[in-house]
């Protein structure tokens, strides 16, 4: 079955450590996205990529970095510069283009806790 796999489901890190969240898709989608959810807030866009080797900042990119070396993979690194990293992170993909009028397909998310 095609889909998006995020790993791990739960992640715990000490403050000051960088951590990388994995997102892999086998849907052959061009565009991939990272969203963050906090309690009482809507999903907020961190980064997105429309094509391999290219990505753009979303609304809350500070303290995060991404890479898109392969079509299937879009890992997100939460750096020590991110002031409030504890959150639920969702990865999504779509085709064609930027998900403007094609639906997003989501992974199951990673809950990151930083203490």
Partner 1 sequence: ILNVEQSPQSLHVQEGDSTNFTCSFPSSNFYALHWYRWETAKSPEALFVMTLNGDEKKKGRISATLNTKEGYSYLYIKGSQPEDSATYLCAFIGQAGTALIFGKGTTLSVSS
Which of 17, 56 has the CB closer to partner 1?
56
Selection from 75, 107, 74 nearest residue 88 by Cα:
107
Regarding 103 and contact with partner 1 (CB under 8 A), the answer is: yes
Phi-psi region of 18 (alpha: psi -120 to 50; beta: other; left: phi over 0): beta
Rounded distance, CA 56 to CA 88, Å? 21
Q: How far is the CB of 55 from partner 1 (least distance, A)?
A: 12
Per CB under 8 A, the list member of 56, 62, 84, 96 interacting with partner 1 is 56
Among the listed residues 69, 64, 78, the one whose alpha carbon sits nearest the alpha carbon of residue 51: 69
Nearest to partner 1 of 5, 17 (CB atom): 5
Closest CB to partner 1 among residues 21, 90? 90
**Measuring CA to CA, which residue among 87, 81, 90, 75 is closest to residue 112?**
87
Report the residue from 107, 110, 112, 114 that binds partner 1 according to the rule CB under 8 A: 107
For partner 1, which is the closer residue by CB, 52 or 104? 104
Binding site for partner 1 (CB under 8 A): 4, 33, 35, 40-45, 48, 56, 58, 90, 98-109
């Amino acid at each position: 079955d095609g889909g998006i796999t995020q790993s791990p489901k739960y992640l715990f890190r000490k403050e000051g450590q960088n951590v990388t969240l994995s997102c892999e898709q086998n849907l052959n989608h061009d565009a991939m996205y990272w969203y963050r959810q906090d309690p009482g807030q809507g999903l907020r866009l961190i980064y997105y990529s429309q094509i391999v080797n290219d990505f753009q900042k979303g609304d809350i990119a500070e303290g995060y970095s991404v890479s898109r070396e392969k079509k299937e993979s879009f890992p997100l690194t939460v750096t020590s510069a991110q002031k409030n990293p504890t959150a639920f992170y969702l990865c999504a993909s779509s085709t064609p283009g930027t998900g403007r009028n094609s639906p997003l397909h989501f992974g199951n998310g990673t809950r990151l806790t930083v203490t």
